[in-house]
Amino acid sequence: MTAGQLPRWVDYGLMPALNVAAAFLVSGLVVLLIGENPVEAVKVLVWGSLGWNEGIGFTLFYATNFIFTGLAVAIAFHAGLFNIGGEGQAYLGGLGVALACLALDRYVPWWVTLPFAVAGAAAFGAAWAFIPAILQAKRGSHVVITTIMFNFIAASLMVYLLVNLLSKRGSMQPETRTFESGGRLPLLQDVLPGTNFGSAPVNFSFLLALAACLLVWVIVWRTRLGYEIRTFGANPVAAVYAGISPLRITVVTMLMSGGLAGMMAINEIMGSQHRLLIEFVSGYGFVGIAVALMGRAHPVGIVFAAILFGMLYQGGAELAFEMPAITRDMIVVIQGLVILFAGALEHMFRPALLRIFGVLAARPAPAA
């Protein structure tokens, strides 16, 4: 162990755990500030999200969204790109899903519609990431700024489409007609025998999300493309010398990232809402950043982080019900704190840990 380095388990285990613990500690202080008991709040939260079948179902339903948006942010991280536009890409992905469902739902069963819906979600999400990608690669426009701008452009575009073109005839609601059975995914409890999630909307897309995790793992760590992505992310200059095209890697990675973000809409639109409606993304794209940070941009970590955030969403809803002073906005606060401590302040504990482990490592030295 050289100076300034920590053991791997500290780097990948202890430090993230400390960061998340700090985030939850501050969240507890916020609960105290409102005048409720933090320990009680945690009990309600955990029971609400894991204590009963329907709670688990809701937790997994939310986790499905987070897995997709988390993977989207993570794969871009590996190429050194920060895709902050998951929100807009997922919104557009919803359009792709809805078009496929609206076209097919009356004629074919759901498993025929699904591939088209997946293709639609991925293609529309990827398309929305394509322009920022190409501008970054060719013109050097910072992808963070352009993807933020594209989130807002997506919001305006979708409102326009839903209000003027896609809404039901004679209805003032900015939403499409409800899909027939050919445009609805089966619930998870109907697919996996022996499971029971009550009336929770967790559906077939949860399995799709797990498959996406596997796919991302294979692409990033087991293919030549993934090697090139990681090389480019680690050192763009060296990557160019190694014959890796920055243009190709930037565009391909952002397309995959946008496609994954778009896939979120499968769960929300085809799995639960069964119609395209306004603002269905409602922050899932942004939370993907927290999920990717907490999961250290690795699919396994992302699944765990997604389930934790799913618990927060579901448990937070129960909490708002049990303790009316704590509204669902508490979840947003916790997310903010997790992003702050696990993301922006990720190195806060490093100097202290370095000192502790420096002392521990130095101690056996005189004996040797």
Partner 1 sequence: MFETLIFVLDSTARLSTPLLLAALAGLYSERSGVFDIGLEGKMLGAAFAAGTAAALSGSAWIGLAAGIVISVALALVHGFACITNRGNQIVSGVAINFLAIGLTALLGQAWFGQGGRTPSVSGGGRFGELTLPLAESLRDVPVIGLIYYELVSGHNILVYVAFLAVPFSWWVLYRTRFGLRLRAVGENPGAVDTAGISVTWLRYRAVICTGILCGIAGTYLSIGQSASFIANMTAGKGFIALAALIFAKWKPVPVMFACLLFGFLDAVAIRLQGQQVPGIGEVPVQAIQALPYILTVVLLAGFIGKAVPPRAGGVAYVKERS
Task: Record the tokens describing residue 192, joined without a space.
Answer: 């996996």
Question: How far apart are alpha carbons 284 and 90 in whole angstroms?
Answer: 9
Phi, psi of 175 (to 5 degrees): -150, 160
Taking the C-alpha atoms of residue 229 and residue 225, their distance in angstroms, rounded to an integer, is 6
Asked if residues 62 and 313 have their Cβ atoms less than 8 Å apart, the reply is yes
> Which of 110, 341 has the CB closer to partner 1?
341
Residue whose tokens read 């076209």 = 103
CB of 343 to partner 1, least distance (A): 4
Q: Which residue has the tokens 């699904």?
A: 114
Interacting residue with partner 1 among 49, 59, 146, 253 (CB under 8 A): 146
Q: Is 144 in the site for partner 1 (CB under 8 A)?
A: yes
Based on the shown chain and the rule CB under 8 A, indicate whether residue 325 belongs to the binding site for partner 1.
yes
Stretch that binds partner 1, among 10-18, 148-156, 179-187, 192-200 (CB under 8 A): 148-156
Establish if 363 lies at the interface with partner 1 (CB under 8 A). no
Q: Select the residue interacting with partner 1 from 8, 156, 199, 362 (CB under 8 A).
A: 156
Stretch that binds partner 1, among 147-155, 181-189, 194-202, 221-229 (CB under 8 A): 147-155
Q: Binding string to partner 1 for residues 328 to 347, with x set by CB under 8 A, is what?
A: -xxxxxxxxx-xx--xxxxx
- Burial zone of 250 (CB within 10 Å; 0-12 exposed, 13-18 middle, 19+ buried): buried
* Residues in contact with partner 1, shown as a per-residue x/- string from 252 to 291 under the rule CB under 8 A: ----------------------------------x--x--
Long-range contacts of 351-355 (CB under 8 A, 24+ apart): 353/6, 353/10, 353/14, 353/15, 354/4, 354/6
Which x/- pattern over 285-324 shows residues binding partner 1 (rule: CB under 8 A)? -x--x---x-------------------------------
- Taking the complex as a whole, how short is the minimal distance between the CB of residue 183 and partner 1, in angstroms? 26
Size of the site for partner 1 (CB under 8 A): 50
Residue 20 near partner 1 by CB under 8 A:
no
Q: Which of 334, 265, 349, 340 is nearest to 97 (CA)?
A: 265
Rank residues 59 and 146 by Cβ distance to partner 1 and give the closer one: 146
Tell which residue, 36, 19, 77, has the closest CA to residue 229.
77
Q: Closest CB to partner 1 among 101 and 317?
A: 317
Binding mask 25-64 toward partner 1 (x if CB under 8 A, else -) reads -----x--xxx-----------------------------
Q: Which of 57, 54, 59, 86 is nearest to 72 (CA)?
A: 86
For position 164 contacting partner 1 by CB under 8 A, the verdict is yes
* Rounded CA separation 13/349 (Å): 13
Q: What is the residue-wise DSSP string for 293-358? A: HHTTT-HHHHHHHHHHHHHHHHHHHHHHHH-TTS-THHHHHHHHHHIIIIIITTTTTHHHHHHHHH
Which is nearer to partner 1, 94 or 201 (by Cβ)? 94
Residues that bind partner 1 (CB under 8 A): 3-4, 30, 33-35, 82, 84, 131, 135, 139-142, 144-146, 148-150, 152-153, 156-157, 159-160, 164, 286, 289, 293, 325-327, 329-337, 339-340, 343-348
